[in-house]
Each structure stands twice: as structure tokens, then as C-alpha cells.
């Protein structure tokens, strides 16, 4: 920041505002892991910290770092860029805040304390409007406390004090910290988990970064990749045929009694070392974990099973993966910066967010035009969804987010699309998205289809099995990292030590349904899935139609839906 302190605290121009936003983005990224760990539910989730950080990450790009103009110009550029980059609910809320600030700063060359305070208030109002049913005790509460403090300060303080922007931000940061500390008293679920709100914590980091820049001590990024460089490997630089050992082979073997204890499986280690490369061999008293790139996975598995029985097995063809990466890389290089909608060729089209080869195949078979990879740990951006909508050749495009943390992003994308009618259906799980597709009819109007889909969604039950990503407390119970979690309608209901035990419990939620679909994940073997199917069959309606699908989804070992005809 090339501003003298007295100028930076009395007036903020475009350069200062840009530096404040960059410092805030750095502060947020530096603290993203700590923010993630505040998530109430310990399900694996690239959630609040990552989503907020990715939303503000363009602040470090050459495009913004070199952008010049008035504070109105810079704030408008920041708002538009963040909105396109927004990920997750927290990212949409944060980008909406900067959007509201930009609207108030329109036409302003330099902003004084009063203008900044009113812009801050407009930012908070915009953030609240982005959420259909705002919840107190969240990031919104922290934002509002700051805005109230700012307005109070410029109206009641002495003229000299009220003109000091650095003092204004100092006051807001102080009240933000105080309000954040109170969030557990506002939201019982936070108090149960003994944490403060993750989004609120992220906003405190944003304020810390902005204030640090005002003090001419901007926060520097830690371990941030160079955004000016091409950070994606060019997989076309070497030939697919150059891959000597094409099969990435992984397995976990539960030792038989004769091999229990450590150091009893050296012969297996020596064998694996001879049949491939990229070997990882881990042995403890009960299990062996093997990773190797080989040209004959059968040899590896045949040898490994001599030492016990398989807990998990995974084989991937790296030649196929490499060919796909080359195609993806070449396609990405062609992508224009500007989004241009393709002409409509039909009345209706669909965009669905999902992950897992099998689940994607289900949506494709049901007629979805564009699939966007996403879900827990991989929230797509507003821009990702906007591009998918634009590429769908239909007059009306229905968007199925299939995750509660993607819904607001889908809404933001819909608002940005001007060339097509976009209807975002609030599906918060894969089964709900599938049900919505079954309810759709070409013969109905957009409004009638929405009504039919929402009705079918309301009748669909969803349960799932995953694992705890970190230690936590839920409903008075201690949850340990790695324990198995059973979710019913996306809420943690069961905590167990084995998947089998958890499957038996979550099956209770669908035991009365006549149609049950079980999607098993990428780390579940077919034999394990068949065993889970047996457990479910014993628990549910004996006349139920039960379908087992290799969904291939990450994070969730099982996703189970229950419906009636």
C-alpha cells in the first residue's frame, strides 16, 4: 500500500480498497483450516473456511491486483468477481456482502468513514437478502453487529473520531469478536459442540485482514500458489503409452491370525516391490495397506490375500485417467472468459450437481443435459453452474443442486443468467434430485413441473453413512475422528464403530417404504455392498423393491433413498 497513514485512515481510494480486500483474502486463506474445524457436524466437508477462501481467492489474481480505478470501480470489480467465484452458502453470503458495498459505493471516487459505514450496512443488508430464512448466531449476526457499530460510531462520536476509518474498523473488529464469542448462546447446536460459528469466524478474519492493510501492515499469504502461473499440469506433455505400469492398485488386508503382529509380512513387501513402482507398504499388528502401480493387479491381489482377507480393494486404469485428463485440459484451454448461451433447441433442460461415476450415469439416463461435479468437499462455484446453464440448449433450465450447501450458489447463478429461464429446485440430496427427475413431465408448464417435483421431493426419504472427519461433540455425545456416522435427512443421528452397525440403524428410516435404492461409494467393495444389502433387506418392508447401485461417490459409503410408488 503506497498511501500515507493519515490519508488511508481519513479516505479510502481504489488502491487502498483493493489492498484491503487482498489482505482480507490472505487472512482468510491462512485461517481456513481452523475455520473448517469449527464446523458443527464432523462430516467430511470442504466447508466454510475453504468455501469463503475460494470465494475471495480472485483478489490475489493479476486481474485484480493490477486493477486501477476509483473505489467505485474497484469495489464493482471485486463484487462481480467474487460473485462468480462464490462457493457454498458462506461464499454466497460473503460475495453478497461485497455486492451490497459496491452498490453503495457507486459513483464514489474516495470514501470517507461515513460512506464506508453506510456501504458496510448495505453490504450486510444484501447478505441477509441472499438467505431465504436468516438464522441468528451465524455469520449474518456477526456482520450485523459490525454494521450497527459502524452506524453508531459515525452518528455519535466526535467529528474527529468519526472521520477515522482505521478507528472505525478497529471498533467493528472488536464488536465482531465479542459477537462471535456469543454465537454458542444463540444457536444451541453450537453450544452442544462447544464451538463458535465457523462463518462468523471467517468474517472476523476478513476484518482483521482489512484493518491490517489500513495500518500499512497487510497480511501476507502463506503457501498460496502463484495465480499468475498456469497451476494445472499439462498432461499432454507426455504420451499415454509412456505409462509403464497402468493399474493403480490399492488394498487393505485384515491379517489372519498367523500373521498378526508387526514384521511378519516382509515377503509380501518384497513381492510388491518387484512387480511395479510408486509402492507404499504399511503394516501394523492387524492390517496391511498396499499401494502400487503395476501391469498385473491380479498378481498383487492374489499374493496379498494369502495374508488374510480384503477389507477394501481399488483398481484404477491410469491410462484411461490420463487420456481423460488430456481431453479435459485441452477443453479447458478453449474455454472463453465470456459466457455465451447456446441457442435453445427444446423447451426444457436440466443441470445436476453430483459426483461418482454411477450416480452421474443415473442422472444422464434420466435426461440431465449437463452434469457439474460437486458435493461434500467439492462445492462448485457460481461460475461453474453458470457455464453449465449457458451450455444447456433449452428455453427453461431446471437446476438440481442436490446439496444444501450448493443451493445458494445455484440461485446466484440463476440470477446472473439473462438469456434463459432458470428454475432452481431445492434438492439437498442425490435421492431428491433423482425423484425430481422422475416427477418431471414434458407436458407440464414450468410452474406445474416445479410443483410436481417439489411434491415428490417432500415424499423422498434420504439416509447416508459416512465418517467423522475430526473429533467433535454432538447431542452430548463425544465423536471421535474416524467413527462411522449415520445421517437421516442430512442430520447426524447415529454414531457407530462399524459400517455394518450403522447400516442397520439408518435402514430404520426407510423400513416402511416400498422402493429403496442403495448407492454405494467409491471405497466400498462389491462384496461389502452385497452384505449391506442383506442387512437392509432384513430391516425393511419384506415386499419392498430394493435396488443396489454402484454410485462411486466419494465421502459417503452409502446413500439410501426411500420412496413409495
pLDDT tens digits along 381-391? 999 999 999 99
pLDDT at 233 > cutoff 70: no
Residue 48 is predicted with a pLDDT of: 87
pLDDT number for residue 7: 42
**DSSP strand pairing (370-373 vs 346-354):** parallel
- Please report the pLDDT score of residue 10 as a whole number: 79
The C-alpha cell at 326 is 488430456
Q: Give 242: exposed, middle or buried? Use CB within 10 Å, 0-12, 13-18, 19+.
A: exposed
Which residues have CB under 8 Å from 349's CB, separation 6+? 369, 370, 392, 393, 394, 396, 397, 398
Report the share of the chain in percent with pLDDT over 90.
64
Partnered with residue 396 across adjacent β-strands are 348, 421
pTM metric for this prediction: 0.73
Higher pLDDT among residues 472 and 9, named by residue: 472
Query: In this structure, which long-range contacts are made by residues 159-167, counting pairs with CB atoms below 8 Å and at least 24 apart in sequence?
Result: 162/113, 162/114, 163/10, 163/112, 163/113, 164/9, 164/10, 164/113, 165/8, 165/9, 165/10, 165/11, 165/12, 165/112, 165/113, 165/116, 165/214, 166/5, 166/8, 166/9, 166/211, 166/214, 166/215, 167/9
pLDDT at residue 5 is higher than 50: no
User: Mind listing the pLDDT tens digit for each residue in 306-347?
Assistant: 999 988 888 888 777 656 655 655 554 444 467 888 999 999
What's the pLDDT tens digit per position in 365-417?
999 999 998 865 578 999 999 999 999 999 999 999 999 989 999 999 999 99
**Domains located in the chain, CATH noted:** 5-214 (1.25.40.340), 235-321 (3.30.70), 336-458 (3.40.50.510), 461-563 (3.30.1180)
- Those residues with Cβ within 8 angstroms of residue 478's Cβ, 6 or more apart along the chain or in another chain: 471, 472
Residue 454: other Cβ atoms inside 10 A: 15
Cβ atoms of 50 and 28 closer than 8 Å: no
Stretch 431-444: mean pLDDT? 96
Nearest CA-CA partner of 388 in 426, 355, 349 = 349
Give the pLDDT band of residue 73 (cuts 50, 70, 90): very high
- pLDDT tier at 40, thresholds 50, 70, 90: low
Number of helices (H) and strands (E) in the chain: give both, helices first: 23, 16
To the nearest 10 degrees (0 to 180), the angle between helices 71-85 and 48-56 is 140
Instruction: List CB contacts of 315: < 8 A, sequence separation 6 or more.
Output: 247, 248, 249, 250, 297
The DSSP secondary-structure symbol of 564 reads: -
DSSP structure class, residue 135: -
Inter-residue contact 284 to 311 (CB < 8 Å) = no
Cα 362 from Cα 300, distance rounded (Å): 33
pLDDT at 247 over 80: yes
Q: What is the side-by-side strand order in the sheet with 287-294?
A: 276-283, 287-294, 247-255, 308-317
159 touches 221 (CB < 8 A):
no
d(CA 506, CA 8): 58
Choice between 285 and 288, residue whose per-residue pLDDT is larger: 288
- Confidence grade of residue 251 (pLDDT, cut at 50, 70, 90): confident
62 is written with which cell numbers? 493479476
Q: In this structure, are strands 421-424 and 394-400 parallel, antiparallel, or unpaired?
A: parallel
Give the mean model confidence (pLDDT) for residues 520-529. Answer: 94
> Which tens digit of pLDDT belongs to each residue from 186-232?
988 788 777 899 999 999 999 999 999 999 999 998 865 443 333 34
Confidence of residue 457 (pLDDT cuts 50, 70, 90): very high
266-292 average pLDDT score: 84
Nearest to 390 by CA among 364, 361, 416, 365: 416
Secondary structure in 3-state letters for 87-117:
EHHHHHHHHHHHHHHHHHHCCCCCECHHHHH
Amino acid at each position: 500500500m503506497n498511501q500515507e497513514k493519515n490519508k488511508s485512515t481519513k479516505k479510502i481510494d481504489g488502491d487502498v480498497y483493493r489492498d484491503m480486500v487482498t489482505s482480507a483474502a490472505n487472512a482468510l486463506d491462512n485461517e481456513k483450516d481452523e475455520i473448517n474445524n469449527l464446523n458443527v457436524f464432523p462430516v467430511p466437508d470442504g466447508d466454510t473456511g475453504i468455501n469463503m477462501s475460494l470465494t475471495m481467492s480472485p483478489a490475489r489474481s493479476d486481474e485484480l491486483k493490477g486493477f486501477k480505478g476509483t473505489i467505485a470501480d474497484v469495489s464493482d470489480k471485486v463484487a462481480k468477481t467474487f460473485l462468480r467465484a462464490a462457493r457454498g452458502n458462506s461464499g454466497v453470503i460473503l460475495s453478497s456482502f461485497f455486492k451490497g458495498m459496491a452498490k453503495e459505493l457507486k459513483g464514489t471516487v474516495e470514501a470517507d468513514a461515513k460512506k464506508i459505514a453506510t456501504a458496510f450496512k448495505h453490504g450486510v443488508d444484501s447478505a441477509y437478502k441472499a438467505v431465504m430464512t436468516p438464522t441468528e448466531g451465524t455469520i449474518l449476526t456477526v456482520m450485523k453487529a459490525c454494521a450497527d457499530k459502524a452506524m453508531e460510531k459515525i452518528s455519535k462520536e466526535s467529528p474527529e473520531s468519526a472521520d477515522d476509518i482505521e478507528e472505525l474498523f478497529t471498533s467493528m473488529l472488536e464488536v465482531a469478536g465479542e459477537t462471535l464469542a456469543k454465537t454458542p448462546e444463540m444457536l444451541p447446536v453450537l453450544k452442544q459442540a462447544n464451538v463458535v460459528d465457523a462463518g462468523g469466524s471467517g468474517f472476523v478474519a476478513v476484518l482483521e485482514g482489512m484493518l491490517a492493510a489500513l495500518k500499512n501492515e497487510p497480511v501476507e499469504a502463506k503457501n498460496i500458489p502463484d495465480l499468475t502461473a498456469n497451476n494445472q499440469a499439462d498432461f499432454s506433455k507426455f504420451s499415454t503409452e509412456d505409462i509403464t505400469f497402468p493399474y493403480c492398485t490399492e488394498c487393505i488386508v485384515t491379517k489372519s491370525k498367523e500373521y498378526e503382529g508387526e514384521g511378519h509380512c516382509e515377503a509380501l513387501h518384497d513381492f510388491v516391490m518387484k512387480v511395479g513402482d510408486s509402492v507404499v507398504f504399511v503394516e501394523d499388528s492387524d492390517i496391511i495397506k498396499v499401494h502400487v502401480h503395476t501391469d498385473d493387479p491380479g498378481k498383487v491381489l492374489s499374493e496379498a490375500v494369502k495374508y488374510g482377507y480384503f477389507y477394501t480393494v481399488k483398481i484404477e486404469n491410469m491410462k484411461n485417467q490420463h487420456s481423460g485428463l488430456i481431453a479435459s485440459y485441452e477443453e479447458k484451454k478453449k474455454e472463453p472468459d465470456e459466457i455465451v448461451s447456446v441457442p435453445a433447441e427444446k423447451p426444457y433442460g436440466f443441470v445436476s450437481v453430483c459426483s461418482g461415476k454411477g450416480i452421474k450415469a443415473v442422472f444422464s439416463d434420466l435426461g440431465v443435459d449437463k452434469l457439474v461435479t460437486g458435493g461434500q468437499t467439492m462445492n462448485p462455484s457460481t461460475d461453474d453452474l453458470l457455464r453449465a446453464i449457458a451450455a444447456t440448449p433449452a428455453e427453461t433450465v431446471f437446476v438440481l443442486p442436490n446439496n444444501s450447501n450448493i443451493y445458494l450458489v445455484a440461485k446466484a447463478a440463476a440470477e446472473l443468467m439473462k438469456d434463459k429461464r432458470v428454475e432452481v429446485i431445492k434438492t439437498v440430496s442425490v435421492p431428491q434430485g433423482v425423484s425430481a427427475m422422475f416427477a418431471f413431465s414434458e407436458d407440464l408448464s414450468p410452474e406445474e413441473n416445479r410443483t410436481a417435483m417439489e411434491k415428490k421431493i417432500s415424499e423422498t426419504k434420504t439416509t447416508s453413512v459416512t465418517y467423522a472427519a475430526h473429533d467433535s461433540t454432538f447431542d452430548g455425545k463425544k465423536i471421535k475422528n474416524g467413527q462411522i456416522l449415520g445421517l437421516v435427512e442430512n442430520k447426524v443421528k447415529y454414531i457407530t464403530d462399524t459400517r455394518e452397525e450403522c447400516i442397520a440403524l439408518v435402514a430404520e428410516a426407510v423400513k416402511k417404504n416400498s422402493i429403496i435404492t442403495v448407492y454405494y461409494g467409491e471405497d466400498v467393495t462389491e462384496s461389502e455392498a452385497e452384505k449391506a444389502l442383506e442387512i437392509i433387506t432384513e430391516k425393511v418392508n419384506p415386499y419392498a423393491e430394493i435396488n443396489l447401485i454402484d454410485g462411486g461417490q466419494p465421502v459417503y459409503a452409502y446413500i439410501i433413498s426411500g420412496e413409495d410408488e
